[in-house]
Amino acid sequence: MSTEAIRHITLGRILNETVSRYPDEDAVIYVDREFRLTWKEFGGLVDDLAKGLMALGIQRGEKLVLWATNLPYWVAFQFATAKIGAVLLPLNTSYKSAELEYALQQSEAENIFVMDRYYDTDYILTMYEKVPELRNSERGKLKSAKFPHLKRVGYLGAEKHRGMYSIPELTALGQSISEEDYTARQESLDPDDVVNMQYTSGTTGFPKGVMLTHKSIGNNGFWIGENQKFTHDDRLCLPVPLFHCFGCVLGVLAAVTHGTTMVIVEKFDPIMVMKSIEQERCTAVYGVPTMFIAILHHILFDKFDFSSLRTGIMAGSPCPVSVMREVMDKMYMKDITICYGLTESSPVMTQTRVDDSVERRTQTVGRAMPEVEVGVFDPETGEKCPNGTQGEICCRGYLLMKGYYKMPEATANAVDTEGWLHSGDLGVMDDEGYVSITGRLKDMIIRGGENIYPREIEEFLYTMEGVKDVQVAGVPSVKYGEELGAFVIVHKGADLTPEDVQDYCRGKIAWHKIPKYVAFVEEYPLTASGKIQKYKLREEASRLWPNA
């Protein structure tokens, strides 16, 4: 892909360029099932699926829900839908039936393709329970009372299920579509069309459908790859969920725009990630901090060879400095980067660069992406903050969402009249444009009139021997409004007490920042994409310490 700052191009054209440039090089690999496609083979699969979707009658602008883990068909569907102008709507794999119902109704989706099951949720059975008409419906002619927009249901495999199209049937139907009609459909598309609708994780309130365009995510993916110096010689291990922007934009689109091989892991498993890196000599790997911690502290870590690694991304939640340094030293990822952004910003607004200093890459989230404005604003006055002063991080540019689907009020609350997207995150910007995250507006703890930012306390406690991970949340207090509660995960064999944690703080940080309450836990509540659900920790704090 060209290094023009911003290109007016569809995802289908991006893929076509890469296929023509590197036809016989590896495109997609799954180590656990000996699955391997060259770019030419991958492009052919995409075209077969795209023609099949056209044969079903799917029109430009129709939405196609994809409810599945990182299966081999996932990435192919991402481009097949894009090539015919459909809108891919990836669904969180942790959703249950009520959440599926909400997403299908709110999105007015016309199509859905599902896998068989994930952990304790049977997706096929859930579909029959929610859409009982499906069992006796002729395929393609579904009439659902609960979901009047839903027309077609498909299964991501060869097995046949009543009322659903299988993949072999889909590709067979595609043979009826002529090359002329297929080309005409692609040429009718506009890069400013919505191509992806991401539902926010819904950690607070109802999930919102974020509408993203070819132009926004295609260009964002390209620059994410550029900032890691990706080429067609790189091999990226992708264990993060593809339904999240971390997977389908930071991962897939950064790779496809550079001809980088994607070594995909269906669902995160430390051993499979380590095996994939070693076997395929991966040069990059992505993950949220909890994933890297799980790898670094795995009992078999020393058995695997990580020497091929050089770069990657740690993102999704605040990245502890100590973990970053361990990844750089023990996993050879000297060029690892940090990305920061929101789904609403396609999603990356800032990123560190591989030639940034270690300090920049461990203590900031980088600087603005090309052709993107990033600013820090006073959340009370709306005025731009001087460098070095804390405020709300905002951005504007090509990367902004088109809006929340059918939620104009929420869209107006997120993007102001000047075109600035408000992140809800607090940070400071230095004189060279590097941004450091200091907290989140709703995560801020106010104790007796003192504003306390959990990130600061967490970073301090990471330096305590025996502490593997820590999260700080507010505990309701009659006297002070809020007190501090720390949820600590200790290293195996460590023997710590709440008093040890508090004693470690005394004399090192301000007294009002010392956690009054400490709980030792084995894990944190996470979203399916690996983000820590702070609101659940706050709920747990209220339960543990009700008389604070």
> d(Cα 356, Cα 363) in Å, to the nearest integer?
11
Average pLDDT over residues 325-337: 97
Tokens of 331: 């996993």
> d(Cα 243, Cα 225) in Å, to the nearest integer?
19
Question: H-helix or E-strand containing 72?
Answer: helix 72-83
- In one letter, which amino acid is 288? V
pLDDT at residue number 205: 54
Q: For CA atoms 432, 433, 434, 437, give the dihedral sign.
A: positive
Average pLDDT over residues 228-257: 97
- In one letter, which amino acid is 502? Q
Query: If we measure between CA atoms, which residue out of 138, 144, 137, 150 comes closest to residue 108?
Result: 150
Q: Is 509's pLDDT higher than 90? A: no
> d(Cα 140, Cα 169) in Å, to the nearest integer?
12
Query: If we measure between CA atoms, which residue out of 73, 108, 106, 79 comes closest to residue 18?
Result: 79
Q: Pairing mode, if any, of strands 261-264 and 435-440?
A: unpaired
Average pLDDT over residues 490-497: 94
- Under a CB-based contact definition with an 8 Å cutoff, are residues 115 and 157 in contact? yes
More confident residue, 217 or 538: 217
More confident residue, 530 or 496: 496
Query: Which letter does DSSP use for residue 68 in this model?
Result: -
How much of the chain exceeds pLDDT 90, in percent? 81
How far, rounded to the nearest angstrom, does the alpha carbon of residue 296 sit from its chain's CA centroid? 21
List pLDDT tens digits, range 70-111. 999 999 999 999 999 999 999 988 888 888 999 999 999 999
Q: Mind giving me the DSSP string for 43-62?
A: HHHHHHHHHHHHHTTPPTT-
pLDDT at residue number 204: 44
What's the pLDDT band for 360 if we cut at 50, 70, 90?
very high
Average pLDDT over residues 130-151: 95
> d(Cα 529, Cα 222) in Å, to the nearest integer?
22
Residue 424 domain flag:
no
Residue 148 domain flag:
yes
Residue 295 domain flag:
no
Residue 388 domain flag:
no
pLDDT at residue number 108: 98
CATH code of the domain covering residue 65 = 3.40.50.12780
> d(Cα 314, Cα 328) in Å, to the nearest integer?
11
Residue 306 domain flag:
no
Query: If we measure between CA atoms, which residue out of 392, 497, 368, 496 comes closest to residue 444?
Result: 392
Identify any residues that bridge with 263 across adjacent strands, giving them in sequence order: 29, 237
- Under a CB-based contact definition with an 8 Å cutoff, are residues 373 and 438 in contact? no
List pLDDT tens digits, range 36-71. 999 999 999 999 999 999 999 999 999 999 999 999
> d(Cα 312, Cα 250) in Å, to the nearest integer?
10
Q: Which domain holds residue 514?
A: 445-544
Residue 45 domain flag:
yes
What's the pLDDT band for 438 if we cut at 50, 70, 90?
confident
Q: Mind giving me the DSSP string for 365-396?
A: --EEPTTEEEEEE-TTT-PBPPTT--EEEEEE
pTM, to two decimals: 0.87
CATH code of the domain covering residue 449 = 3.30.300.30
- Nearest 5 degrees, angle CA 232-CA 234-CA 239? 125
Residue 248 domain flag:
no
Average pLDDT over residues 407-423: 95
Tokens of 522: 């084995």
The last residue of one of the domains, among 184, 199, 214, is: 199
- Three-class SS of residue 5? coil
- What is the C-alpha end-to-end distance of the chain, expressed in Å? 57
The last residue of one of the domains, among 153, 178, 199, is: 199
Q: Is 13's pLDDT higher than 50? A: yes
Residue whose tokens read 């990356």: 348
> d(Cα 476, Cα 486) in Å, to the nearest integer?
13
List pLDDT tens digits, range 250-288. 999 999 999 999 999 999 999 999 999 999 999 999 998
Q: Is 203's pLDDT higher than 50? A: no
How far, rounded to the nearest angstrom, does the alpha carbon of residue 368 sit from its chain's CA centroid? 19
pLDDT at residue number 202: 43
What's the pLDDT band for 389 if we cut at 50, 70, 90?
very high
Residue whose tokens read 């809006």: 403
Strand order in the sheet with 63-67: 152-155, 111-114, 63-67, 87-90, 194-199, 209-213, 403-404
Helices (H) and strands (E) in the chain, counts: 18, 27
List pLDDT tens digits, range 144-172. 999 999 999 999 999 999 999 999 999 99
Residue 54 domain flag:
yes
The last residue of one of the domains, among 150, 173, 199, is: 199
> d(Cα 397, Cα 392) in Å, to the nearest integer?
17
List pLDDT tens digits, range 305-315. 999 999 999 98
Angle between helices 289-296 and 321-330 (to 10 degrees): 50
pLDDT at residue number 449: 65
How far, rounded to the nearest angstrom, does the alpha carbon of residue 210 sit from its chain's CA centroid? 13
Query: If we measure between CA atoms, which residue out of 399, 394, 402, 441 comes closest to residue 420?
Result: 394
Q: How many domains does the chain have?
A: 2
